[in-house]
């Protein structure tokens, strides 16, 4: 593992706490403040047969290493006809919700979804965080692993047994018949809360957690839309050219005749992330915004 302050101090969010004392400074490496150096060193380690896990403290800092990630990490295997293997993981804290301001709160997953050669994962709960990370490390692929920082305090059951959650496999969280809600990351929990609120009014919403944005598993979404006829996409990133646009496009291409109403999207506003907690709540797809859109869609 390598990254800023991940060693003796255990990382800014304490995700790596205890690893330095157990495995030592040769395996848990504190790096200089240089995202380019962190990703470049990880790439070199991967090419030499190691399996590095690099941490970029905030997802907002990934653009500082964009040349390494997009032009080197994503393309080494392709350029070598598969002879050079790039098995590595880049972990990063993503998203808004705790008032860290516009340069420490962005959701940039779509940047990397758009880049052939990269895998992109984003868990919504502790069980998936463990299972997806284990799969990412073992995949032999370059994986961007976005951890919604608002979920770090979340508690949930995690098995002590070996449990791998495969990359590229969506999960149906709640079954329903009146509409389909598709989300990923922290937005899944917003969607589940909305579904619970709708249930109190006699409306049945099916909630699907994508879990990985590439590979993108839409078969459960297609099946659900065939059943409900209505699709609501909830995403924490900016909606314009966000990952929800790809989901909407593919559903429209494959299941247009199953839709009984136009697809709706609820996303972050097209704005830098506000620092103010009140403005940030309005900026994000909060439960009230999702609920209102779901009600309109269900009634349509």
Whether the Cβ atoms of residue 294 and residue 198 lie closer than 8 Å to each other: yes
**Which residues form the catalytic set?**
104
Whether the Cβ atoms of residue 233 and residue 180 lie closer than 8 Å to each other: no
The three-point CA angle 198-121-29 to 5° equals 135
| Edge-to-edge strand list for the sheet holding 29-30 | 29-30, 2-3, 53-58, 88-94, 142-148, 119-121, 212-214
- Strand, helix or coil at 80? coil
Longest dimension (CA), the chain: 60
CA pair distance 6, 2, nearest whole angstrom? 7
**DSSP per residue, 100-168:** --TTS----HHHHHTSTT-EEE--SSHHHHHHHHHHHHHSSSEEEEEEEGGGTT------SS-----TT
């Amino acid at each position: 593992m390598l990254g800023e302050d991940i060693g003796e101090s255990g990382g800014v969010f304490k995700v790596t706490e205890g690893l330095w004392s157990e495995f030592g400074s040769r395996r848990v490496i504190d790096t200089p403040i240089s995202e380019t150096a962190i990703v470049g060193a990880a790439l070199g380690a991967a090419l030499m047969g190691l399996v590095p896990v690099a941490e970029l403290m905030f997802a907002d800092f990934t653009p500082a290493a964009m040349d390494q990630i997009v032009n080197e990490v994503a393309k080494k295997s392709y350029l070598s006809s598969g002879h050079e293997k790039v098995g590595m993981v880049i972990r990063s804290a993503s998203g808004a919700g705790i008032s860290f301001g516009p340069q420490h709160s962005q959701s940039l997953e779509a940047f990397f979804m758009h880049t052939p050669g990269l895998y992109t994962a984003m868990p919504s709960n502790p069980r998936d965080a463990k299972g997806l990370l284990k799969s990412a490390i073992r995949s032999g692929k370059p994986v961007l692993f976005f951890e919604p920082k608002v979920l770090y305090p979340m508690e949930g059951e995690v098995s002590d047994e070996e449990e791998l959650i495969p990359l590229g496999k969506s999960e149906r969280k709640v079954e329903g018949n009146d509409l389909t809600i598709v989300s990923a990351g922290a937005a899944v929990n917003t969607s589940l809360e909305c579904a619970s609120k709708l249930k109190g009014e006699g409306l049945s919403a099916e909630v699907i957690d994508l879990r990985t944005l590439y590979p993108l598993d839409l078969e459960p979404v297609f099946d659900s839309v065939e059943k409900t006829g209505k699709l609501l996409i909830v995403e924490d990133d900016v909606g314009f050219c966000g990952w929800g646009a790809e989901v909407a496009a593919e559903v429209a291409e494959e299941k247009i005749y199953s839709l009984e109403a136009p697809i709706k999207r609820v996303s972050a506003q097209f704005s830098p992330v506000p620092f103010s907690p009140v403005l940030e709540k309005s900026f994000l797809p909060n439960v009230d915004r999702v609920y209102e859109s779901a009600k309109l869609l269900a009634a349509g």
